Amino acid sequence: MIIGGHEDKIAEGDYDSPLRAALRVPHFNILGRLMDKVPYTHDVIEVIAAASSIPQEMEETYVAAYKNAGYDHVRIMSFDDAGATNDPELVRRIHYAHAVFFTGGDQRKLTTLLNGSDVLDAIKKKYYADPHFMVAGTSAGAMSLPEIIIERGMIEEALLKSDLIVGKGFGLIDNVIVDTHFIKRGRFGRLALAVALNHPGHTGIGLGEDGALLISNGNEAECIGSGMVVIIDGSDIGATNIGQANQGVPIAIENLKVHLLTEGCKYLIREKKFILHSNSAS
């Protein structure tokens, strides 16, 4: 599950934004998808806040949110030193987890820490072997899950090749590039450039705040939350100067396809197919 950031952490009571109140989206409906609904189980959600500059505060926020929802099986996975990412005890904990949740922060910091580690290897092995295991991330945590991540991208009035730096992510989602806080921070241009410049066969996924995609079998992505999700499909790009543009020359691109998903809509990543939710037509 990939989340755009600032997801609703309220289990009950008043809404914390006018949009959520207007849409009457159920409280905690994004984070609540990570809760183990099987009776009498004691599997835990392992929260990893290593991307954050304030990890302890971030950890306390999510533990408190789940406790308010009546779910106590939440643990913190901390990496006090570089060797901790290969700690056999932390690897063992992954085997008994129901879900792993990466908080926001700096995606480059997170991927630098965990890529090549025993902990990430354990997460990936369980992810592919256990159909009930969930991996989730919000903000930088969501951006880190695909194979390719945006490490830096300037937001300007024109697209320049030098504005974008990509890196290696965790490789848990194939053929996508994820950007977060997508609407509020005006990131359409940098995601479009990432798709067109690096991997036009990939799908760009721009996640609005309190918007998420729940991806099943690496393909069927269901939109949840009050925020929108923007899909950028570069598979049919026409005329473009992207291959010949020199330093400082703005990029022009023809025929990028864009889809807007809201709660209940789906997108098939491999087939590049949009599915409108029945309630969206009423």
Strand partners, 3: 138, 212
The confidence score (pLDDT) of residue 177 equals 96
CA–CA separation, 163 and 93 (whole Å): 40
Distances (CA, A) of 117 to 56, 79, 90, 180, 228: 22, 12, 11, 25, 34
Distances (CA, A) of 193 to 22, 170, 203, 214: 34, 21, 12, 25
Q: Which sequence spans correspond to the domains of the chain?
A: 2-281
Helix (H, G, I), strand (E, B) or coil at 222: strand
What is the full per-residue pLDDT of the chain (282 aa) written as tens digits?
999 999 999 888 777 777 777 777 788 999 999 987 766 566 899 999 999 999 999 999 999 999 988 888 999 999 977 689 999 999 999 999 999 999 999 999 999 999 999 999 999 999 999 999 999 999 999 999 999 999 988 878 888 888 889 999 999 999 999 999 999 999 999 999 999 886 668 899 999 999 999 999 999 999 999 999 999 999 999 999 988 888 788 999 999 999 999 999 999 999 999 999 867 655
The confidence score (pLDDT) of residue 77 equals 95
Whether domain 2-281 has CATH 3.30.1390.10: no
Contact at 8 Å (CB) between 127 and 170? no
The confidence score (pLDDT) of residue 97 equals 95
The confidence score (pLDDT) of residue 22 equals 74
CA–CA separation, 66 and 48 (whole Å): 15
What tokens does 214 get? 């729940």
Show the 3-state SS of 10-74: CCCCCCCCHHHHHHCCCCCCCHHHHCCCCCCCCCEEEEECCCCCCHHHHHHHHHHHHHHCCCCCE
| Crossing angle (nearest 10°) for helices 88-95 and 118-129 | 20
